[in-house]
Amino acid sequence: MEFVTLAKTGLRLSRVGLGTWSMTGDWWGPADPQEAYATLRKAIDLGITLFDTAPAYGRGLSEELLGRAIRDAGCRDRVAIATKAGLQWTNSKVVRNCSLSWLAQDLENSLRRLQTDVIDIYQVHWPDPLEPLEETAAFFGRLLQEGKIRAIGVSNFSPEQMERFRQVAVFSLITIVGTFVSEMTLLPGLSA
């Protein structure tokens, strides 16, 4: 397995990561949680250390399965959990919600489901047009300072939104169509 170090974080990530969105059904059709769990355990056994999940995937089921697989493998110190915040299931649909009260609850729910006390890479899943982007960035910055997360990421942001976000809190990662890209590699033209 090849590994890379996420700039400025010290996180050592397998070059190949495993995403969990399709493991829980939802938009992908039926899924078998036992098969998903077995897949996660096999990925751990093969040396994959980067796992991407989100509360919106299966209404938290993907985080629960990942948390259980990591606990059962006894490998929390060797894996990096990347999860997201800012989406909420409401009346059988997913809506953007980056209100500070929801983000705080979303974090606690993820920590509980993942059976951990720290999220390695915590990402804003989608920017919320109803909440000030700077407040969202400040919240994530506080989580980083408090040690509740090790790195900040953004997902589905425009270059303009990324620039506004990083005026308040520096992020280490951008997710584009499920692919992690180092911010410095992808956007060298953005000013620090």
User: Which residues are tagged catalytic?
Assistant: 57
Question: Rounded distance, CA 62 to CA 4, Å?
Answer: 25
Helix, strand or coil, per DSSP, at residue 13: strand
Question: Rounded distance, CA 65 to CA 63, Å?
Answer: 6
Query: Residues 173, 180: contact at Cβ < 8 Å?
Result: yes
Token pair 């407040």 in the structure block, residue: 135
Are β-strands 93-96 and 87-90 bridged in parallel, bridged antiparallel, or unpaired? antiparallel
User: The dihedral of CA 37, 39, 42, 46: what is its sign?
Assistant: negative
Question: Rounded distance, CA 85 to CA 64, Å?
Answer: 15
